[in-house]
Structure formats: structure tokens, C-alpha cells
Amino acid sequence: MFVKENGPKCSCGGYGHLEAIASAQAISSAMIGLSVEHPETEEAIRRVTGARAERITAEQVFRLAAEGDNVAQGIIQDVHTYLGIALANIVHLINPGLIILGGQVAQAGDLLIKPLQARIHDLCLAAASSSLRLVQGSLGSEANIVGAVTLALQDIE
């Protein structure tokens, strides 16, 4: 989904797509890339990854943002902003009663869900968002694999 004019390059080759800003891969890459010019952030990454910076997870970036790391806060603010825009558009299009966020980014739990909820309520018509619930999926980071297997099993029956 396109969300940002002149946004970062996406793995598909396009620019400004939601995946290039709010996917687990994008969050980790942004954190590693931006830390090069911020020694305190580099140090924080070393601390939480046991000096294996390349292993930093999106959830850890959310935690560092909550702990006050400026670089992490900038990245997570963009995640909330653009994921909020994308979800608000979906809410206005199909008016769902429930949105379940799964995958690695959703592992951040309330650090993702709470600010996102506030943003969606700000952006949406009250009638569209008042009865909307936004929750973390219970299938963890394996949700898409479980979904794919479920679809395949339905084909077999």
C-alpha cells in the first residue's frame, strides 16, 4: 500500500510503500542504518542484542523507543503515523468491527496497539471507528504461515 510521497525504497522496487516503513525488516534496517551517526543508539543496540546488531528485532526497537532512545522514537513515530494512515483508509473503505494485527511487528503489543488506536480514532469518522476494536493476534509471528497452511488444508477437504 502506498502511504508516503518520496518515501523509502521498498523491497518490491517501488517507493513509499507501507512495507518499506512499517515491516519488521524495515524497522530493524532503519535502526541499524541510522545508528551509525548516533553513538548512544549504537550502544543501546549492542546492549539489547549482545553485540549482534544485525539481530535487532522490531520489538526491541519499540522497547528502545519507549525507554527514550531518540533514533528509535523517530522510527516508531513513522510506523504509527503511516500504519495509522493505512488502517484509517481501510476502516473508511470496509468499516470492520475488528482489526487483528499479527506478525513480528505486532509482537510489540501495547507499544504498537495503544498509540495506533489513538491515531485511528483521530483520523477516522467517529461513526466508523467508535465500535472498532484493534487487537494483537494470538498466533504470534507465525500468523501468516498458519494462515497459508489453513488455506491449503481447506483446498484438500
Tell me: does residue 80 bind Zn ion (CB under 5 A).
Answer: no
Residue 21 contacts residue 79 (beta carbons within 8 Å): yes
Tell me: does residue 10 bind Zn ion (CB under 5 A).
Answer: yes
Count of residues interacting with Zn ion (CB under 5 A): 4
CB-based contacts of 76, cutoff 8 Å, min separation 6: 27, 61, 62, 65, 111
Give the SS3 label for residue 133.
strand
CB-based burial label for 16 (10 Å; 0-12, 13-18, 19+): middle
Tell me: does residue 153 bind Zn ion (CB under 5 A).
Answer: no
| Shortest spacing between CB 122 and Zn ion, in angstroms | 26
Residue 83 contacts residue 131 (beta carbons within 8 Å): no
| Shortest spacing between CB 15 and Zn ion, in angstroms | 8
Binding-site member from 14, 33, 140, 147 for Zn ion (CB under 5 A): 14
Binding-site member from 5, 6, 12, 130 for Zn ion (CB under 5 A): 12
Which is nearest to 102 in space by CA: 4, 16, 23?
Answer: 23
Within 56-75, the residues that bind Zn ion by CB under 5 A are none
Stretch that binds Zn ion, among 8-16, 86-94, 113-121, 147-155 (CB under 5 A): 8-16
Judged by the rule CB under 5 A, the positions of this chain that interact with Zn ion are 10, 12, 14, 17
